[in-house]
Amino acid sequence: MIIGITGPIGSGKSLIASELTLLGAYLIDMDVVARELVEPGMPALGEIRDEFGPDYILGQGTLNRRALGRLVFSRPEALRRLNGIMFPKLMEAAKERLNEASGQHDLVVVDAAVLYQAGLDRLVDKVIAVTAEEEVRTARIMKRDKLSYEEALERISGQGDLDEVARRSADLIIDNSGTPYALRTKLMDGLRFLGIDVSSRDSGPYLPG
């Protein structure tokens, strides 16, 4: 079984993914994959430099993530251009990792905010969409990324209808506006709803740090 997890920034989808790894799932984190794809010497980094200019590359040859993030989350056209570079490479990388996991793991998780936008939903059996109230997401983004309130809202608005698309198309929707313990309870109930037997996998109650 391959489960796709998606949701907008600040929804807490990575916490769902972490819980599933505690249940024995093999995780493919597409945020990690995306970072690997833009490391120095990788084709994607060269394409980004050619498309957006050298100002988005730091002196040591690494991607200036903060500058590029400010650009693409404030200008939809720039985000579309970046996605045009990254989406095909994300699809290729996801296929490679799924092939590696095939036959070795009975439960695989693909964690990707752009699951639908990049076409990765075609590679999974079920999709879990994680959502949360905007004020909760804003606070999480500010704390996690050390952004101002205005910058956090810009990140949220820059993703467009990501949340709406996930809600319309997912097999299961989990609201993560509450506590980590409440989230875990919803996840376990949701997995049973999807017909995934977790009784032998349950690692015990979640104890937030």
Q: Which domains are delineated in the chain?
A: 2-192 (3.40.50.300)
Question: 54-104: per-residue pLDDT in tens?
Answer: 999 998 899 999 899 889 988 989 999 999 999 999 999 999 999 999 889
pLDDT reading at 129 higher than 70: yes
Burial label for 122, CB within 10 Å (0-12, 13-18, 19+), is exposed
Q: Which residue has the tokens 């997995």?
A: 191
Strand partners, 5: 111, 128
Predicted model pTM? 0.85
